[in-house]
Amino acid sequence: MDPTPEFTKFTAGFHQDIFDLHEDDDEILETALNALSQQEQQRLREFLKSIVQSPLSDEELQDLWNTSAADFYIAGPDQVRSLYQSIIDLIPPG
């Protein structure tokens, strides 16, 4: 699965200091989302919904994140689906 431009732009917001600058996970996700326009957020939401609901394995979803522009990796594949769902939940339906 190839990432969309919106996914790449979103993950670029996860720089090495992001955990030092923000207090909780939702704040971190919202900060990264703010780099995207509303239209880009909607396209990201649709992309994430499609991959979460796809037959891709957790390991494949993990690889998608771990090869992205983010400065940190997701260590366990069991966490990635819930991370993607959290992002989906933060973006209001368009």
Q: How confident is the model at residue 22 (pLDDT cuts 50, 70, 90)?
A: low
Q: How confident is the model at residue 20 (pLDDT cuts 50, 70, 90)?
A: low
Q: How confident is the model at residue 23 (pLDDT cuts 50, 70, 90)?
A: low
Amino acid at 92: P
Find the helix or strand (DSSP H, E) in which 63 lies. Answer: helix 58-66
pLDDT in tens, 68-81: 988 888 888 888 99
pLDDT in tens, 33-80: 999 999 999 999 999 999 999 999 999 999 999 999 888 888 888 889
Number of CB atoms found within 10 A of residue 85's CB:
13
